[in-house]
Chain A
Amino acid sequence: MSDYGIRIEGLRKRYGKGDTAVDALKDVNMQVAPGEVVGLIGPSGSGKSTLLKSLGAVIEPSAGRMVLGEQVIYDDGWKVRDLRALRRDKIGFVFQAPYLIPFLDVTDNVALLPMLAGVANAQARARALELLTALDVQHRARAMPSQLSGGEQQRVAIARGLVNRPPVILADEPTAPLDSVRAMAVIRILNDMARTYETAIIVVTHDEKIIPTFKRIYHIRDGVTHEEAGEGRAFA
């Protein structure tokens, strides 16, 4: 296994051309090991979202290098032909709002990803149930998203992010809509899942409550990242 879940070197992203060009990312360098959860924090307009979209293979960076596990996915250009499959199989997403599919029940919301990857329905559902059990929401497996509490929805969203066993999960403000107790619970779950499934997790956050829980933090300002040690406090 690679030493890194994800490694980013000299990533840059420029919007526009000529005089109107804006450098959203100037020099981003990050390394997250499998099983590690790191924070990515920065003020509005610092380039967090651009970085997240670049990591998520949603927009194309202008230069730099990104490696997922042992696979180089970007090196001054995409090295992967099917970005859709890359997102489906190698990158997990957890959003600020859970964005569960409202017409699928909890199990199928989680099982959808493996199904999209061609896994048989029964097998995909079994994998989903295993994760729901790990996240302690197995009792709501047949419920519809609208019947879940905010915390339950977020746990289902985490299960969805993990279900294809991606080497990296990008979590965009996953605790923003939650109170401090539920927010800490979500962070604890993310840490547990990272360890259990050897997944590198990048948590983009403004949430002051959870920042002290990270052992390592990347600050991003004006498109440049700076690494610093976090407090790594125990979860409340």
Chain B
Amino acid sequence: MISLAGRDILHAWGKFAFTGVGLGLLIGVTLSMAGVYRGMVDDGKALLDNSGADLWVVQQDTLGPYAESSSLADDAYRGILTMPGVAAAANVTYLTMQVRKGERDVRAMVVGIAPALRGVAPGWPPYLVAGRQITRSHYEAVADVSSGFALGDRLAIRRSQYTVVGLTRRMVSSSGDPMVFIPLKDAQEAQFLKDNDAIWQSRRRSEANPSFNRPGVPGLFDAVIASQSSNASVNAVLVTLKPGQAPDVVAESIRRWKRLTVYTRAQMEGILVGKLIATSSRQIGMFLVILAIVSATIVAFIIYSLTMDKIREIAVLKLIGTRNRTIAAMIMQQAVALGLIGFAVGKISATFAVPIFPKYVLLTPLDALAGLFVVLVICVLASLVSIRMALKVDPAEAIGG
């Protein structure tokens, strides 16, 4: 038996091709949206992976340092280092801000990393694609390549200038902003240091406050001013464990004895995916549903139009003894063929569009497979209306009168 659907497609290939391309672009947008979501999740995981930490120690009762702000004393890590099972602990600060280079600026997550030999302390970029790690205590930076910065570039972060000495890759925040690593002291200043006017006004207030500026206590006022000018806070302490240590056990120990909040890798992933990008994922999910409905409507309309165009031929086919299932198969095969053309075009267009997106878009084979399945289901469902109409055609319509 010949394929009636195949012959019809070959006969009207132009109509099918154009329709398939149109549908394909829609499917391409849908696949890209799914890729955007996957990219967000992967960014979150990359953030956790690249930090090199097994535990995140943060301010008590906060979801820091990524989902909420968190502030810890910068000497807290020393006590954590003494806890059983802890191999290394390092302070870290995170601050998302506009990093300027000349006239332009880039939104980036500035990460303050504690001085250490590479690989000894967590928080450092685990690998570089160019240049070297930070070796000086101040004014050097390592940037993610997606920031667009190059080796030797001079970056302005708050009031200081930094030279890019190394470039890394896939070091991004959970929202996809590239990371710029700078020494911890510089990062603490960038995050907590006030501007000159604010410092001056703060001094005036303190000077006018008799509690801080007592006539009979020399040196008190200077000590207060010094404490206001310095900053001893970090956002989190990243902890790595000794081999064979259970993260939950060590985390519980730190919680108990240091009265801090501690998250394991699994808990932190839950915070990132379940809380930080949950709204975005719901938003994307809504878009996917809308796009699926639009695609289904388009396929249904196209197949309906194609079937309407053949209504006389269908009446003749029924009159000359064609089985209902042959006619139904013809319509369904055309819908499925349209879906396959659309999916192929969509996959190709999404693949080519990925590098154009400003943020990371991850197209996974499993998503593509799921997309193909959904497209086929939509096409089959969309063809049902047309099949129902075709099966209702009276073969007597082929006979005049």
Given contacts A104-B7, A115-B2, A116-B1, contact A173 B400 (CB under 8 A): yes
Q: Which of B129-137, B249-257, B320-328 contacts A (4 or more CB under 8 A)?
A: B320-328
Kindly state whether residue A101 has any CB partner on chain B within 8 Å: yes
Kindly state whether residue B312 has any CB partner on chain A within 8 Å: yes
How would residues 70 to 113 of chain A score, 1 for a CB under 8 Å from any chain B CB and 0 otherwise?
Answer: 00000000000000111111000101100101111000100011
Instruction: For B318, list chain A residues within 8 Å (CB).
Output: 84
Identify which of residues 24-81 in chain A touch chain B, using a CB-to-CB cut-off of 8 Å: 48-50, 52-53, 56, 58-59
Given contacts A103-B7, A121-B2, contact A84 B396 (CB under 8 A): no
Given contacts A102-B313, A115-B1, contact A87 B400 (CB under 8 A): no
Kindly state whether residue B398 has any CB partner on chain A within 8 Å: yes
Q: Which of B8-16, B98-106, B197-205, B236-244 contacts A (4 or more CB under 8 A)?
A: B8-16
Instruction: For B284, list chain A residues within 8 Å (CB).
Output: none
A99 close to B401 (CB less than 8 A) = no
B317 close to A49 (CB less than 8 A) = no
Given contacts A49-B400, A144-B11, contact A99 B321 (CB under 8 A): no
Contact of B313 among A50, A85, A101 (CB under 8 A): A101
B321 close to A113 (CB less than 8 A) = yes
Measured between alpha carbons, how far is A87 from B398 in the docked complex, in Å? 13
Given contacts A59-B396, A108-B7, A144-B11, contact A48 B319 (CB under 8 A): no
Given contacts A93-B320, A116-B1, contact A102 B11 (CB under 8 A): yes
Given contacts A102-B11, A102-B313, A115-B1, contact A48 B401 (CB under 8 A): yes
Q: What is the distance, in angstroms, from A139's C-beta to the closest C-beta of chain B?
A: 21
Q: Which of B12, B319, B320, B322 has the most chain A CB atoms inside 10 A of its CB?
A: B320
B400 close to A95 (CB less than 8 A) = yes
Contact of A58 among B4, B10, B326, B399 (CB under 8 A): B399
Instruction: For B2, list chain A residues within 8 Å (CB).
Output: 104, 108, 112, 115, 121
A49 close to B401 (CB less than 8 A) = yes
User: Count the A residues whose beta carbon is within 8 Å of the partner chain — how many?
Assistant: 33
Kindly state whether residue B395 has any CB partner on chain A within 8 Å: yes
User: Count the B residues whose beta carbon is within 8 Å of the partner chain — how many?
Assistant: 26
Q: What is the distance, in angstroms, from B216's C-beta to the closest C-beta of chain A?
A: 105
Kindly state whether residue B381 has any CB partner on chain A within 8 Å: no
Kindly state whether residue B316 has any CB partner on chain A within 8 Å: yes
Question: Closest residue of chain A to B5, judged by CB?
Answer: A103
Instruction: For A155, list chain B residues within 8 Å (CB).
Output: none
Instruction: For A101, list chain B residues within 8 Å (CB).
Output: 4, 313, 316-317
Instruction: For A173, list chain B residues within 8 Å (CB).
Output: 400
Kindly state whether residue A160 has any CB partner on chain B within 8 Å: yes
Kindly state whether residue A172 has any CB partner on chain B within 8 Å: yes
Question: Closest residue of chain A to B322, judged by CB?
Answer: A116
B400 close to A96 (CB less than 8 A) = yes
Measured between alpha carbons, how far is A88 from B10 in the docked complex, in Å? 26
How would residues 110 to 142 of chain A score, 1 for a CB under 8 Å from any chain B CB and 0 otherwise?
Answer: 001101110001000000000000000000000
How would residues 212 to 224 of chain A score, 1 for a CB under 8 Å from any chain B CB and 0 otherwise?
Answer: 0000000000000
A116 close to B396 (CB less than 8 A) = no
Measured between alpha carbons, how far is A80 from B323 in the docked complex, in Å? 16
Measured between alpha carbons, how far is A104 from B322 in the docked complex, in Å? 15
Identify which of residues 212-269 in chain B touch chain A, using a CB-to-CB cut-off of 8 Å: none
Instruction: For A95, list chain B residues within 8 Å (CB).
Output: 316, 398-400
Measured between alpha carbons, how far is A59 from B10 in the docked complex, in Å? 35
B7 close to A172 (CB less than 8 A) = no
B320 close to A58 (CB less than 8 A) = no
Instruction: For A96, list chain B residues within 8 Å (CB).
Output: 400
Q: What is the distance, in angstroms, from B401's C-beta to the closest C-beta of chain A?
A: 2
Given contacts A103-B8, A108-B7, A112-B2, contact A53 B399 (CB under 8 A): yes
Measured between alpha carbons, how far is A139 from B116 in the docked complex, in Å? 88
Measured between alpha carbons, how far is A52 from B312 in the docked complex, in Å? 18
Given contacts A53-B396, A160-B320, A173-B400, contact A99 B313 (CB under 8 A): yes
Instruction: For A112, list chain B residues within 8 Å (CB).
Output: 2, 320
Q: What is the distance, in angstroms, from A174's C-beta to the closest C-beta of chain B?
A: 11
Which of B's residues lie within 8 Å of A, judged by CB? 1-2, 4, 7-8, 10-12, 312-313, 316-323, 326, 394-396, 398-401
A-B contact pairs, 30 of them (CB 8 A): A48-B401, A52-B401, A53-B399, A58-B319, A84-B318, A84-B321, A84-B322, A86-B321, A87-B321, A87-B395, A88-B322, A93-B320, A93-B399, A95-B316, A95-B398, A95-B400, A96-B400, A99-B313, A99-B316, A99-B398, A101-B4, A102-B313, A103-B4, A103-B10, A116-B321, A116-B326, A117-B321, A121-B2, A160-B320, A172-B401
Which of A's residues lie within 8 Å of B, judged by CB? 48-50, 52-53, 56, 58-59, 84-89, 93, 95-96, 99, 101-104, 108, 112-113, 115-117, 121, 144, 160, 172-173
Known contacts A52-B401, A99-B316, A121-B1, then 20 further A-B pairs from the complex at CB < 8 Å, ordered by chain A residue:
A49-B401, A53-B396, A53-B399, A58-B396, A58-B399, A84-B322, A87-B320, A87-B395, A95-B399, A99-B313, A99-B398, A102-B313, A103-B7, A103-B8, A104-B7, A108-B2, A108-B7, A116-B321, A116-B323, A160-B320
Closest CB pairs A-B (n = 5):
A88-B321, A49-B401, A103-B11, A103-B8, A58-B396
